[in-house]
Amino acid sequence: MSEDSFDEFVRVRAGALARTAFLLTGDPHHAEDLVQNALARAAVHWARLDDPEAYVRRVLYTQAVSWWRVQRRRRREVLVDAPPERAAAVRDPDLGILLGRALARLTRRQRAVLVLRFYEDRSESETAAILSVGLGTVKSQTRHALRRLRELAPELGTLMSDRVDREAAP
């Protein structure tokens, strides 16, 4: 692959990669750093990559997990009252704000599992492999994260059902 194809890849995929990184980190600045690091690693190996998208996303996930492990040793997680300025791209602004606040209050591992399982549409086994954890951990973290989301924002269910009803209406 050529340098031009790398430039095109960055131009086309940077936005989606940044959204994923933000969902993984909950911090726009760290997400930006994560994407830049992943793209820098991809640039070094660009000519040998069969699937650049998969490679870059794998680097995003593994670097996010490495960062979490370092942070866990340094300090405890701090809950915030409000989400960062920009939340993930969601069509319904109310749903986006509510979801952003609720996700910010989950643990990093729970947030990563939900992003991989539902935003990236990964299987449980793929999620376990990406995060280097057991399948049981993915299952339990998914269950705990969804229960916690229901506790933190019960109105998410109402907004989601209203949205489904609007989309289903002729």
**What's the whole-model pTM score?**
0.51
Report pLDDT for 168: 57
Residues 12 and 54 in one domain: yes
Token pair of 26 as six digits: 């909950």
pLDDT at 87: 44
pLDDT at 163: 55
Q: Is residue 115 one of the residues assigned to a domain?
A: yes
- The three-state secondary structure class of 82 is coil
98 and 148 assigned to the same domain: yes
Q: Which of 30, 54, 76 is the last residue of a domain?
A: 76
Q: Indicate whether 88 pLDDT > 50.
A: no
The CATH number covering residue 117 comes to 1.10.10.10
What confidence category does residue 1 fall into, taking pLDDT thresholds of 50, 70 and 90?
low
Of 12, 16, 5, residue with least CA distance to 60: 16
Q: Residue range 33-40: average pLDDT?
A: 92
pLDDT at 84 over 70: no
Other beta carbons within 10 angstroms of residue 85's beta carbon come to 7
User: What confidence tier does 37 reach under pLDDT thresholds 50, 70, 90?
Assistant: very high
The mean predicted confidence, pLDDT, of the chain is: 80
Show the CA angle centred on residue 132, arms to residues 26 and 80, nearest 5°. Answer: 20
Asked if residue 81 is part of any domain, the answer here is: no
What CATH number does residue 54 fall under? Answer: 1.10.1740
Asked if the structure places residue 23 within a domain, the reply is yes
Residues 110 and 169 in one domain: yes
166 and 93 housed in the same domain: yes
Q: Are residues 93 and 157 in the same domain?
A: yes
The per-residue pLDDT for range 94-120, each reduced to its tens digit, is 667 777 788 888 888 898 898 888 888
Residue 29: inside a domain, yes or no? yes
Report if residue 170 sits inside a domain. Answer: yes
Which residue, of 25, 46, 76, is where some domain finishes?
76
The boundaries of the domain holding residue 7 are: 1-76
User: How many domains does one find in the chain?
Assistant: 2
Residues of the chain by 3-state class (helix, strand, coil), percent to 5: 75, 0, 25
Of 87 and 98, the one with more pLDDT: 98
- pLDDT score recorded for residue 94: 65
Q: Are residues 3 and 66 in the same domain?
A: yes
